[in-house]
Amino acid sequence: MSKEKVAVYISKELYERVKKFIETQGGFSTIEEFVEFVLNEVISEEPTSYTMSKEDEEKVKERLRALGYI
Amino acid sequence: MFEDEFKKDSDVRRGKYTTVSIPITLYNRIKELIKDTGFTSVSQFVTYILREVIASMEREKLESSMISEEEKKRIIEKLRKLGYI
Amino acid sequence: MVSKPHGNKLINRVVVGRRRDHLLEEAKELPRIEISETLAADTINIAHGVYSPLEGFMTQEDYIHVLHDMRLSNDIPWTIPIILDVNPEDIVDIKEGDDITLTHNNKPIAIMKIEEIYGWDKNEYCKQVFKATDPTHPGVTKTMGRKELLIGGPIDLLNDIYEPFEKYRLWPIETRVLFEAKRWRTIAGFQTRNVPHLGHEYVQKAALTFVDGLFINPLVGWKKRGDFKDEVIARAYEVLIQHYFPKDSIVFSVLRMEMRYAGPREAVFHAIVRKNFGCTHFIVGRDHAGVGNFYKPYEAWEIFKEFPDLGITPLFIRESFYCKKCGGFVNEKICPHSDENRIRISGTKLRRFILRKEKPPEYMVRPEVFEVILSFDNPFIE
């Protein structure tokens, strides 16, 4: 994986809240480590979006139209 | 490299925002994920997720009851008198 | 399981026993500031944890954060400033760090440690909180009439003010024990300042279908002219619950707190307060805490998206109406019929029947409730 990083903005207050939490909780040595962990968790929960070609979508719509659904 | 679509520089200079660095691969995945979802920037999404996660973890850490047995008895007595139980 | 208190800490700043005796003595010697009934109610609410995690009136840092970010300075959601305003001449001898006695009708209510004295921009307050500066907004008029300085700091409660609805009043620690004793795991809070008509009842019952218990918690205290008197609301609910609700599914208690008419922001505040009472859900209706046409009908629903960390789940329930074709109470989502079949029950319509002392149709208000309203010479605030 590339080591290159990008900065995202969060409010100072939220930063402090996260910092305080991981300090009392333990398990993470830096905020960045925690943020990365949380984001990876959340993202892996997202179902992989299935992709459909424009033609396929048109075909399905056509059928739905013919059946009177739309 | 900074994400520039989120807040104006002036906000940062005022000291309202701070930065957290995440791997570019992760950044790009999130950017793709939030397309057409109402989130207008990766920063906004990260803020939302952090608040959601932190709040639920803070809640889990809390002990279930903070009321002493003695206090509970006194309250139940009062509730009984008032006809609530 | 009842909800965790907001900020994960149920505040208790009610002083009892020997410490109270001691502080009451001390209070006699301290500089005094007389506060209104509304502010005395806020003081008492703080002490009993209704506004947890607040331990006092806001200092400037929290005030500014709430005003602009709708969060306390520690990032916890909070939408309405809880502030104490004073006249500069009332505090000439008082400086930051001092203790003062807050009195109401000259009776000591609380000791307050003044952490900060600061000025505020009332116009900015109105813009942020009410999204309006128009004096026809009751909140704007009230705010512009407030005193010039704010004092912030923690309070310790010595005395309650007289509560005419004592037998209907429960504090968060009490409702939490009560909900647990009833073994409710999900509880929906219902905010109101009106006598219940069938439209309200439908919304309440729609929520109750999905949760274990319903917590009906009307606000008593400062309201605007033409609103129902507090006693009318309490008595009306008493008969409604007695005749039309399963007894083990409902808790009714009143809360002495001012209505701000701040629409969306106040909806979130109302939810936070009910979370402190132990509610897991909160019913947000059409034009919640709105007034006139200042807010869009469902604007109060939108704002909740900004709070993934609120810790109480909003229940968005649509306005209900009577549909002649459906033959009952329904809402837009479930009724396919056209407008001429729909009868909307409004407070204004109900008022007309009350003023004429004419019996309204059964689909408008329960006869027992109407009887209670009519038993008052004037059920409205003058």
- Cα–Cα distance list, C283 to C203, C259, C274, C309 (Å): 8, 17, 10, 17
| Distance, CA of C175 to CA of C177 (rounded, Å) | 5
Q: How far is the CA of B45 from the CAs of C150, C302, C310, C368, C379, in angstroms?
A: 36, 17, 16, 51, 50
CB-nearest to A43 from B15, B24, B33 is B33
Whether the CB-CB separation of C41 and C257 falls below 8 Å is answered with: yes
pLDDT tens over chain C, length 382 residues = 899 999 998 999 999 999 999 999 999 999 999 999 999 999 999 999 999 999 999 999 999 999 999 999 999 999 999 999 999 999 999 999 999 999 999 999 999 999 999 999 999 999 999 999 999 999 999 999 999 999 999 999 999 988 888 889 999 999 999 999 999 999 999 999 889 999 999 999 999 999 999 999 999 986 678 888 989 999 999 999 999 999 889 999 999 999 899 999 999 999 999 999 999 999 998 889 989 899 998 899 999 999 999 999 999 999 899 999 999 999 999 999 999 999 999 888 898 999 999 999 989 999 999 999 999 999 998 8
Is the separation of the CB atoms in C79 and C130 below 8 Å?
A: no
Chain B CB contacts of A40 under 8 Å are 26
B33/A35 touch (CB, cutoff 8 Å), yes or no: no
- Residues C277-290: tens digit of each pLDDT: 999 999 998 889 98
Q: Which residue has the tokens 């033609």?
A: A55
Annotated catalytic residue within C71, C146, C193, C351 = C193
In this predicted structure, what is the pLDDT of residue A2?
Answer: 53
At residue A46, the pLDDT reads 61
Backbone CA torsion sign across A14, A20, A25, A31: positive
Q: What is the dihedral of CA B9, B11, B16, B20, to 10 degrees?
A: -30
| Tens-place pLDDT, residues C222-249 | 667 888 898 999 999 999 999 999 988 9
Q: Looking at chain C, which subunits does it touch, using at least 3 CB pairs closer than 8 Å as the criterion?
A: A, B
In which residue are the tokens 């604007």 written? Answer: C299
Answer yes or no: C194 catalytic. yes
Q: Where are the domains of chain C?
A: 6-157, 166-374
Active site residue C32: no
Neighbours of C59 (CB within 10 A): 21
Which superfamily does C6-157 belong to? Sulfate adenylyltransferase (3.10.400.10)
C157 burial (CB, 10 Å; 0-12 / 13-18 / 19+) is buried
Q: Is B84 on the interface with C (CB under 8 A)?
A: yes
- How is residue C160 annotated by DSSP? P
Q: Is A45 on the interface with B (CB under 8 A)?
A: no
Note whether ipTM > 0.90 here: no
For C49-72, the pLDDT digits (tens) are 999 999 999 999 999 999 999 999
CA C61/CA C185 separation, integer angstroms: 36
pTM equals: 0.91
Nearest to C315 by CA among C189, C212, C195, C217: C189
CATH superfamily of C166-374: HUPs (3.40.50.620)
Contacts of A38 in chain B (CB under 8 A): 49-50, 53
Domain count, chain B: 1
Contact between B47 and A11 (Cβ < 8 Å)? yes
Interface test with C, best of A14, A19, A38 (most C CBs within 10 A): A14
DSSP character string of A8-63: EEEEHHHHHHHHHHHHHH-S-SSHHHHHHHHHHHHHHHSPPPP---HHHHHHHHHH
B32: domain range?
2-81
Q: Phi and psi dihedrals of A3, rounded to 5?
A: -85, -5
